Structure 1
């Protein structure tokens, strides 16, 4: 790469080009000084901008802009160091636990000087560690803890099994027991513990039923069915199973099934399993959204419910009954064979 021309030389060439005699072109001046004509034109344009005779960003402003960008990049590097060091710092306060992170950041473009300054580490011990790294088992443990910590920070309501699923999805292989041990050592527990207690029977009524809610409306069930069909294709022949609620036995709901060419299925009397799945879902919704904090408006609560269902439950929460797949993954896997069979 050729060396840049000195600043004093540039200024001299620009002066000569500006004060050239009649009939002398800029190209001739450039040839006399051994520079390319386009380069001389750029120098002259830059000089006009610095003098204020033409609009544009001056050399001083460009230098200040480069300095600001350098500082921003440095701040971004420091933030990246702090973000990725969280899992390592939570594991132990020994400096040797941080050295793998320093190496990874250096590979990703963060200078060792910046990382050591942010983490308050000496550079010489780090360079000595490079000659003799820690054991592979310790490094693998740190990777696993990092993956579990990231999953726990994103969704504090997840237990160790779901954290293990998220970590394995991120590439950190481990058994559920290993995930439990790491979570136990770091006290990364679910925000919702299981309540232990015996079931209590309902007490005697203290008031009479003055509302007489003797029949449920079918509008909600029909709307839910239409919304589900609208988000999918090829629902012909699909089976919709429900309990014996009046809304599922209504004529409007039956007509909706016929309109979508779906097959209805109703469980037997007293079959608690028909409602078990939805009761479990509503329990999760209650703990993860409704009981988390107070809600000012219905619209705010609606947005939170939709966000939790679409972001966490459908796409991140793996279920043992679905082969450790998320509902979206399971539906994708099952839809293709069904379409091929059809």
Structure 2
């Protein structure tokens, strides 16, 4: 580090090399040996990998942390450890966005319509349109609170339906499911898993699912891990989009959410 600092100051002409070596307690011969030494193979490899990491970071809009960058490098064919990715990102000043504190939005209904947990924390599916999950989150705009509902296919983790409104009534979640049904046209018996929020336990929602051939599945009350895929998606949505800027209107939020989900 001392040699690197001396090289920077020497290049800008701030101080004489002999003076800097003396003040920093290093030898001139050591400095010149360091300066003339060719970069090692490891250093050259780190330099090239840092350039790729920077490209990945910029392409993902400055959002990804170490795990997502590491996963992206693996898909690009680079065999590299997460620890090395962390070291290079830290050296390059690249850091992923972090979520803000969580706020409860689930409101348990007074008389929930019974439904079993058909998922049991097994968030996989052998084929598309077999098992879906969903949830609701909130976003504060200058006009007031907005609420976002999603439908995620557990086979690919793709968002197949979503809706935004200024209320948390059952119509919000059915609007998201309307989009999913229109896009995917699933066979009768597709499972839709959610928490026990009042929207998902209402009689209106039960009737909607029966009419559209959807099998309802409910996690346990107060156990966020029972709907972990939906929770994880919203954590990413919040830290990569919602918490990066103010939201003047629900219309503005809807436009940017469309871009984030559908094109990014």
TM normalised by structure 2 equals 0.52
- Match of residue 268 from structure 1: 220
Residue by residue, what CA displacement relative to the aligned partner does 1:10-58 show, whole Å, maximum 9, x if unpaired?
A: xxxxxxxxxxxxxxxxxxxxxxxxxxxxxxxxxxxxxxxxxxxxxxxxx
Q: 1:175 aligns with which of 81, 93, 96?
A: 81
CA 1:185 to 1:216, structure 2 compared with 1: closer, same or farther past 3 Å?
A: closer
Query: Structure 1 residues 181, 147: closer, same or farther in 2, change over 3 A?
Result: same
Shift in CA distance, 268/185, structure 1 to aligned 2, threshold 3 Å: closer
Higher relative contact order (CA 8 A, sep 6+): 2
The answer on 1:222 being equivalent to 2:161 is no
The residue that corresponds to 2:51 in the other structure is: 146
Q: Give aligned pairs, total.
A: 162
Q: Which residues of 2 match residues 28-47 of structure 1 at below 5 A?
A: none
CA contact (8 A) 1:244 1:267 kept: yes
**Corresponding residue number in structure 1 for 2:138:** none
Call closer, same or farther: CA 1:304–1:160 in 2, change over 3 Å: same
Give the 5 Å matches for 1:104-123.
none
Partner Cα distance (2:67, 2:94) in 1: 12
Q: 1:234 maps to what in 2?
A: 186
Secondary structure at the counterpart of residue 157 of structure 1: coil
Q: Which residue of 1 aligns with 2:260?
A: 308
Query: In structure 1, how many angstroms separate the alpha carbons of the residues matched to 2:63 and 2:218?
Result: 34
**Counterparts of 1:233 and 1:194 in 2: how far apart (Å)?**
34
Give the deviation of 1:219 after TM superposition: 0.8
Q: Which has the higher helix share?
A: 1
Q: Displacement, 1:235?
A: 3.6
Mark the structure with the bigger radius of gyration: 1
Q: Does 1:278 align with 2:230?
A: yes
Give the RMSD, CA atoms, in angstroms.
Answer: 3.1
Moved over 6 A (4+): none
1:245 partnered with 2:197: yes
Determine the C-alpha separation between the residues in 1 that align with 2:50 and 2:67: 14
Q: Is the 8 A contact 1:238 1:263 kept in 2?
A: yes
Deviations 1:90-131 (A, max 9, x none): xxx9xxxxxxxxxxxxxxxxxxxxxxxxxxxxxxxxxxxxxx
Give ranges in structure 1 of 5+ residues lacking alignment: 1-92, 94-132, 197-214, 313-342
Q: Which runs of 5+ in 2 are unaligned?
A: 1-7, 9-37, 102-166
Name the structure with the higher strand share.
Answer: 2
How far residue 134 of structure 1 moved from its aligned partner, in angstroms, is 7.6
- Tell me how far 1:188 sits from its aligned partner: 1.2
